């Protein structure tokens, strides 16, 4: 196995970072979840994603959660 660190290109980092943050949170590792999600947000900010677009993504998340029966606090 190659021990060199591997990185995904910018846009491809979003899904793994979100999944990593989600899994860490579910496992009770709040600080690690925060780092993963902060990294995701930092990437969005550096790529020029506007706050309204981030808000729109949150709305989509709530819609998807509701569609599968998950109730999230507002």
62 in any annotated domain: yes
* Joined tokens for residue 66: 């509701």
Taking residues 67-73, what's their average pLDDT?
Answer: 82
Q: What local confidence, expressed as pLDDT, does residue 16 receive?
A: 80
For the segment 21-29, the average pLDDT, to the nearest whole number, is: 87
Q: How far is CA 67 from the centre of its chain?
A: 19
Q: Indicate the pLDDT class of residue 72, thresholds 50, 70 and 90.
A: confident
Domain that holds residue 51: 13-67
Composition of the chain by helix, strand, coil, percent to 5: 70, 0, 30
The residue behind tokens 């309204």 is 52
Say if residue 2's pLDDT is above 80: no
2 domain-assigned: no
Please give the tally of structural domains in the chain: 1
**What pLDDT, on the 0 to 100 scale, is given for residue 4?**
66
53 part of a folded domain: yes
Q: Is residue 3 part of a domain?
A: no
**Using 50, 70 and 90 to split pLDDT, how confident is the model at 12?**
confident
């Amino acid at each position: 196995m190659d021990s060199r660190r591997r990185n995904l290109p910018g846009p491809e980092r979003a899904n793994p970072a979100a999944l990593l943050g989600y899994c860490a949170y579910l496992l009770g590792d709040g600080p690690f979840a925060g780092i993963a999600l902060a990294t995701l947000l930092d990437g969005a900010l550096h790529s020029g994603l506007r706050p309204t677009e981030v808000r729109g993504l949150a709305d989509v998340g709530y819609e998807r959660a509701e569609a599968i029966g998950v109730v999230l606090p507002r």
